[in-house]
Amino acid sequence: MPVYVENRQIVVPGELIADKNRFRVEGKVYERDGRYYSKVLGVAYIDQENRRVNVLTLKGKYIPSPGDLVIGKVVEVGLTNWIVDINSPYPAILPLNEVFSKPTSIPRSELSKILDVGDIIAAKVIAFDYARDPLITIKETRLGKIPQGIVVEIPPSKVPRIIGRKGSMVNMIKELLGVELIIGKNGRIVIVGKDRAKAELAALVIRKIEREAHTSGLTDRVREFIMEKLNEIGGGSNEG
Amino acid sequence: MSESKSAGILSLLRREVILAGLRKGEREDGRSLTEFRDIEIQTGYVGKAEGSALVKLGDTKVIAGVKVDIGTPFPDTPEMGVQIVNAEFIPVASPVFEPGPPGEDAIELARVIDRGLRSAEAVDLSSLVLVPGSKVWTVFVDIYPLDHYGNLIDASGLATMAALLDTKIPSVDVENGEVRISEEKKPLPINTRVVYVTVAKIEDFLVVDPTFEEELAADARVTYAVNEDLNICGIQKGGSGAFRVKELIDARDMALEIAPSLFEKLPPKHGA
Amino acid sequence: MKGSVQLIDENGKRVDGRYPNELRRLRIEAGVLKNADGSAMIELGNNKIIVAVYGPHEAVPKYMAEPDRAVIRCRYSMAPFSVDERKSPSPSRREVELSMVIRQALEPAVFLNEYPRTMIDVFIEVLEADGGTRTASITAAAVALADAGIAMRDLVSAIAVGKVGGRLVVDLNGLEDQYGEGDMPIALMPQLNYVTLFQADGVFTPKEVEDAFRLVSEPIKKVYREQKRALKKKYEDVVREVEKGE
């Protein structure tokens, strides 16, 4: 048997996944003596047609990667930079020159007027090597301080489920609930919407997806869930 | 600070040199993988202690001192004397030792030595009772490495055993719960001697009595305490690595093979 | 410590009715704490131990960080009410040593070099102790580490072998630990077959050292099965729930 697990099987670290050279094995696995073992508590997805197995982790912190869009929280104002928590063991550094497109010189006392402790920002990772803390920027369009919204945090490994294949899940949520979702690769999502009740419903939906991320038929169930809850809200009650 | 940290880090180059030698069955000081370094034991080094021993194991030097005092027994063993083993890794001995109270390494060493002795009942604690339930002899062993060049456990084991064998306690008269100490001294009663053999694992090689650098190169180590019946009276695996079962059994055999020669180096037990 | 109490009869039956190769009742639950990144609770006989894992996180203090790997900080602690005679909350020498050997029992299993310059905290609190707390702690800690999503080569499963009435037995309870002739805690990475914890006190013949590994083989498999079950349960329950709904 080339593959020792079933599709969507939950696996633990050290669990035998497949023999080498029979299937292509990807994801959170390691190889030993010609066999692949899971590295994490995760889910094995098997693509029989293309002879591929992918092991995805169910939990875990965010490890930065250049190019990633992340939602951060400012935790410290420095002399010429800000320290930003990006839900990672590696705190991110946002230097002054990654805030403005033109070079500026601003006294330290003014820094907190631009971004202060507790501010939520959408940023992009521009550099990370394990020897130094990751560098982020908010210079590009659509980046910067997010003035309002509901922030939800999920394991980074489940972000693809929130997005869905070709955006199918996130687009459905946006359409049905009339909200904007700013999705950070680091597992943080900001829900922006004029209707408070619908925005809070979106948060519930995200939690549901997080909980059921490893199951099949999720998109349909989520649609049903949203429609059900919308009816309840439409009924006039003011629940969140 | 950086110097002390640097001393505890083995360069990849050095590690390769050590491994290259092991692949040929050689160690840097010319020993085979199953040989101990030269051992020198000098007892009675510290006059003020009731017993003491200075041990040289290659370049590693450890001194153990025994102080004996009258104290109270532990509540769950009212008819037994008390044995307390402590170790201090003083900065004198190595740039990697920082001043301060015993850290986990010093505590581990003291407890491993203590367990080996206790399991084998090396010190006859039951004959150290003066007034049952209230007054017993307390035997304090303090282990002080003076020069750390590897394998502190085995060297400390030899120093401790030799110091205990060297220890003399006063004779006492006990009358109506009163203890009178006489000038006469007698040897601390010892049932059996114990030796310790540490085997380090460097990749797939098992080396006995590792030097400081061999310890840094090692993934893990295992120490076997052996009594005079050649039974195992203590085991301690240390280090962040892992062993195959077979390696642990091989190490056991190495320990049993070497133990007799270590016993020979120790002072003999006193006649009853 | 010597056998003054009769702990085993001619048929090999022990004080609590178990036979030499039997484990006490074992239950593990994963993900029991909301705050911790990973957590586990273990009940083995009367032992009740909870483990919380925080991390990987920024190393604190910074000088403790290693440039090429994560550092594991492990704290084994017994609650004052966990034992017969109240134990002082301040760390004893025993707790210091156990914190270290437990850490060294877990380190070989973790892919430390995937998280350079970080720290992983393993906090173990023994709420009730009844023999074999260090091996039960290791068993629970491995589950908590996996529950946190930390990359590992294998779980670590642990059990103490002991000697009572001259016979080797598995999973010593408190009485056997106190009055028996020897205690030999063993931890293994069960899939890879590597030993990560190995200690002993008491006297064992050379052959008994070898026999202990043979004796421990089946019980360790049981422990491993329970660890796997605990880790998978939460997620498998969701699948079952979802399937039932459909």
Q: Give how far Cα B186 sits from Cα of B50, B168, B173, C241, Å.
A: 11, 5, 13, 77
- Of all helices (H) and strands (E), which one includes residue B63? strand B60-71
What integer pLDDT is reported at residue B181 of this predicted model?
Answer: 86
Q: Which residue of B has its CA nearest to C184?
A: B235
What integer pLDDT is reported at residue C8 of this predicted model?
Answer: 80
**Chain-chain contact of C203 with B233 (C-beta, under 8 angstroms):** yes
Would an 8 Å CB–CB cutoff place B257 in contact with chain C?
no
Would an 8 Å CB–CB cutoff place A58 in contact with chain C?
yes
Q: Give how far Cα A127 sits from Cα of A99, A155, B256, B270, Å.
A: 15, 22, 56, 71
Q: Examine the pLDDT at A200 and tell me if it is beyond 90.
A: yes
CA–CA dist C113, A13 (Å, integer): 16
Residues of B in contact with C103 (CB under 8 A): 240
What integer pLDDT is reported at residue B2 of this predicted model?
Answer: 46
The SS3 of residue B252 is helix
CA–CA dist B72, B15 (Å, integer): 50
Domain boundaries, chain C: 26-245
Q: What average pLDDT does this structure show over A217-228?
A: 93
CA–CA dist A25, A5 (Å, integer): 12
Q: Which residue of B has its CA nearest to C214?
A: B245
* A73-115: pLDDT as tens digits: 999 999 889 999 999 999 999 999 899 877 777 777 788 889 9
**Chain-chain contact of C203 with B110 (C-beta, under 8 angstroms):** no
Q: What is the mean pLDDT of each run of 10 residues along chain C (246 residues)?
A: 68 91 97 96 98 94 91 97 94 98 98 96 98 98 98 98 95 94 97 97 97 97 98 92 78
Would an 8 Å CB–CB cutoff place C194 in contact with chain B?
yes
**Chain-chain contact of C239 with A215 (C-beta, under 8 angstroms):** yes
Number of inter-chain CB pairs under 8 A, B vs C: 92
- Which chains are within 8 Å of B by 3+ CB pairs? C
- Structural domains present in chain A: 9-57 (2.40.50.100), 69-145 (2.40.50.140), 150-234 (3.30.1370.10)
Would an 8 Å CB–CB cutoff place B83 in contact with chain C?
no
Question: Tell me, what amino acid is at A181?
Answer: L
Q: How many CB atoms lie within 10 A of CB A42?
A: 28
Would an 8 Å CB–CB cutoff place A59 in contact with chain C?
yes
Q: Do A45 and A7 meet the contact criterion of CB atoms below 8 Å apart?
A: yes
* B83-127: pLDDT as tens digits: 999 999 999 999 999 999 999 999 999 999 999 999 999 999 999
Fold annotation for C26-245: Ribosomal Protein S5; domain 2 (3.30.230)
* C106-135: pLDDT as tens digits: 999 999 999 999 999 999 999 999 999 999
Going by C-beta distance under 8 Å and a sequence separation of 6 or more, which residues neighbour residue A59? A41, A155, A157, C37, C38, C147, C148, C149
User: Would you give the end-to-end CA distance of chain B in angstroms?
Assistant: 52
**Chain-chain contact of C242 with A215 (C-beta, under 8 angstroms):** yes
Share of chain B above pLDDT 90, in %: 88
Q: Which among A161, A174, A165, A163 has a CA at the least distance from the CA of A201?
A: A174
* A9-26: pLDDT as tens digits: 999 999 999 998 888 999
Fold annotation for B2-265: Ribosomal Protein S5; domain 2 (3.30.230)
- Of all helices (H) and strands (E), which one includes residue C205? none
Contacts with B, C 103-122, CB within 8 Å = 103-104, 107-108
R_g of chain B computed on alpha carbons: 20
**Chain-chain contact of C200 with B240 (C-beta, under 8 angstroms):** no
Residues of B in contact with C205 (CB under 8 A): 231-232
What integer pLDDT is reported at residue B180 of this predicted model?
Answer: 86
CA distance C69 to chain A (A): 10
Q: Examine the pLDDT at B272 and tell me if it is beyond 50.
A: no
Q: How many CB atoms lie within 10 A of CB A128?
A: 19
Share of chain A above pLDDT 90, in %: 79
For residue C166, what are its two tokens? Answer: 């001259």
R_g of chain A computed on alpha carbons: 21
What integer pLDDT is reported at residue A130 of this predicted model?
Answer: 83
Placement of tokens 């230097």 in the chain = A95
pLDDT band at B182 (very low <50, low <70, confident <90, very high): confident
